[in-house]
Amino acid sequence: MSSLLSDLDVIDRVFEHIDRNSTDLGEDVWYEPTKNYSCPERFQAEMKLFRHIPLPFCPSAALPKVGDYVARDAAGVPIIAIRGEDGVVRAFRNACRHRGMKMADGHGCAKALVCGYHGWAYKLDGRLDYIPDAHGFPGFDKEKHGLVPVTAAERHGLVFVTQEEPVSDGPLADYPEVLKPHQELVSIREFDFEMNWKLFAEAGMEGYHIKVGHPKTFYPYGFDNLNVVEPFGPNSRVTFPFRRIEKLRDVPREERKIDGKLTYAYQIFPNLLMAKLSRHTTVQFAEPVSPSRTKYTNYYISNDPIDGDAAALAEVKKDIDYVSDTGVAEDRDITMEIQKGLASGANEHFVYGHFEAAIVHFHKVMNELMPKVGWEE
């Protein structure tokens, strides 16, 4: 893994860019075919890739206790992740072994997973435990009919699931510790947008649009087109500094703290954006539904322990609401207009320049992996 810069090194580079009126530049210009945002066959190939790599699924903070579960679709497949009595997170195909009914949906906590159709019950480790009126199924082997597992891996505050034989380690081999054990889950919000999943992801990977796209929200507090861009493995980290970082100029270098002075935006390949802001971290999972529709599950996690402090919780919620209701909403609206613009036929390619290095990196990784699931341009 290419090691990420330390906080102090990031601050140094930000000051260099402020002084030089510059930003990190990529080496390449990338031309991405617009058909890759609308083609049904391409979309199905992307979902196949999702099933053959470790796919970010949920934060560990959503599964703090025994029996806590998250049940949602991943690459179009119903999956449930649940923390067992031994503390281990396991993941299963979310279907009863009797007639295929979903075992659960959304977020919750259970002592056992019980099918809502006929009451078949499974232990937290997936073993089939109880069949009502079992005499109606003579010779049925419960040991062979537990929930069907998929590979689950818990790393540094995130849970990844791999559904099929992996063609790549994906982000696992190159994933740094971003979420800390002390961080608390504050809220969960779900959104359903009419847009291709890659378009919205791209908005979080560059700061070239800050002044024009966020003139009254992010720009008064930040910089336009001033970013530190760090690819690592298939992933990337983009730093968005705030103007108040200037207050650190007079602070001895070893005493400088980045808290509240910048946003780290991590794009964890392929479908996760984590943005560490002043008081909270947004952990956003994209679940593509079609080439033009995406469902998002956003987890908002405090940066510091709250421990029941009402005032601290209120400050975190204020931070969450401001970002969600302003800048993120603006990116959403812009992206939805781009989605509509695809139908105009004006562009055969989108052009990503030197200011958009993280997006170029993302598409390069996609192009390297897509042939492994049978897709050729």
How far apart are alpha carbons 203 and 69 in whole angstroms?
A: 30
How far apart are alpha carbons 206 and 209 in whole angstroms?
A: 7
pLDDT score of 3: 82
Residues 6 or more apart whose CB falls under 8 angstroms from that of 191 comprise: 295, 296, 298, 332
Domains and CATH numbers, the chain: 7-52+176-373 (3.90.380.10), 55-162 (2.102.10.10)
pLDDT score of 2: 54
Shortest CA distance to 55 belongs to which of 162, 149, 175?
162
How far apart are alpha carbons 266 and 243 in whole angstroms?
A: 20
pLDDT score of 163: 98
53-106: pLDDT as tens digits: 999 999 999 999 999 999 999 999 999 999 999 999 999 999 999 999 999 999
- Segments of the chain scoring below 70 in pLDDT: 1-2
Shortest CA distance to 356 belongs to which of 212, 236, 264, 196?
236
346-371: pLDDT as tens digits: 999 999 999 999 999 999 999 999 99
C-alpha dihedral, 51 to 52 to 55 to 57, nearest 10°: 40
- Using only the alpha carbons of the chain, give its radius of gyration: 22
- Whole-prediction pTM: 0.95
How far apart are alpha carbons 359 and 26 in whole angstroms?
A: 10
How far apart are alpha carbons 178 and 173 in whole angstroms?
A: 14
pLDDT score of 175: 81
Give me the percent of the chain exceeding a pLDDT of 70: 99
Q: 252: phi > 0 → left, psi -120 to 50 → alpha, else beta; which?
A: beta
pLDDT score of 1: 42
